[in-house]
Amino acid sequence: MRIVGTVQELRRFPVKSMAAESLQTVSAGWHGLAGDRRWAFIRPGIERSGFPWLTIREKPDLWRHEAYFTDPSDVESSKTMVRTPDGSEWEVTDPELAQRLGEGVRVIKVGSGIFDIFPLSLLSIQSVAGLSELAGQSLTPLRFRPNLVINASDAEPFPEERWEGAVLRIGGLRCRLDARDPRCMMVNIDPLEPASTNPAVLRAIAQKRAAHFGMYGTIVQPGEVSVGDSVALGD
C-alpha cells in the first residue's frame, strides 16, 4: 500500500440538497456513509420522472436548511430534524415543513440513500485549489458537496483523478473510485450566499476539466472512517 493523503473533512447530507453534517467519525456501509441522503423532498406532478427531487437548482436556499440526526451515532433510531433559515426546527416528516418548501412538495425516505449515481463522493483540497485558479476565485470544498475531503500527499492539483479504478483504504473502509464526477449548474451556487451564483465555476469545469470534478466511488468493504485517517492505495 502507498499512503496518498489523509482525511481532512467528513460530511453527510441527511436530506438531499440541504446543508451537510460535519462529522469527526462515521460508519460507512454498502450504501455509503450511514444516514447519507436518507431523505429527499419531491416536487409535485413529476413523481414518476427520472429526477423528481427538489434541489438547490429549484430552491437555492435549501443550502440554508440544516438537516441533522438527533443521535449522530445511531441514525436508525434517531429523529431527523431540519433547522430552517429563520431558526425554527421541524422534524423532517412534519407536513408543515414540506408546505414551507412549496405547494404540493412532499418528503420520502429511502433506506439505501437517494444518490444520483454512486453512494460515495471524494474530493481533494488540492483539486479545489486548482479549480479556484482556473475559475479566478477562491472556492471551498463545501460548494461541491463531497462526503470525504482529502488532503493529498501530491501537491499537484486533481490527484484523485489519477486514482480512478483503484481501491482506497481509509481507516476501516475500503472503497473503489469508479468514475469522475460530472458537474451541473449547482456548483455555481455559493453555499454561504445561496442567492449568489457565478457561472465561471461551471464554465471552468466544462472547459478545463471536461465537465468533471472530483470522484465517485462504491464500497468494497464497510468500515469506520475518521478525520485524520490515512488514505492508502490498496487492492
Where residue 173 sits, what CATH number does that domain have? 2.40.33.20
Instruction: State which of 109, 143, 167 marks the end of a domain.
Output: 109
Q: Which domain holds residue 223?
A: 2-12+117-234
Same domain flag for 100 and 124: no
Same domain flag for 42 and 122: no
CB atoms within 10 A of CB 151: 14
Same domain flag for 125 and 230: yes
What is the number of domains present in the chain?
2
Same domain flag for 123 and 200: yes
For range 107-130, the mean pLDDT: 92
Mean pLDDT of the chain: 94
Same domain flag for 139 and 76: no
Same domain flag for 159 and 124: yes
Q: Would the pLDDT of 21 be above 90?
A: yes
Same domain flag for 136 and 97: no
Same domain flag for 51 and 96: yes
Q: Would the pLDDT of 235 be above 80?
A: no
Dump pLDDT digits (tens) for 55-85: 998 898 999 999 999 998 889 899 999 999 9
The pLDDT score that the predictor gives to residue 111 is 80
For range 116-133, the mean pLDDT: 96
Same domain flag for 50 and 122: no
Q: Would the pLDDT of 184 be above 80?
A: yes
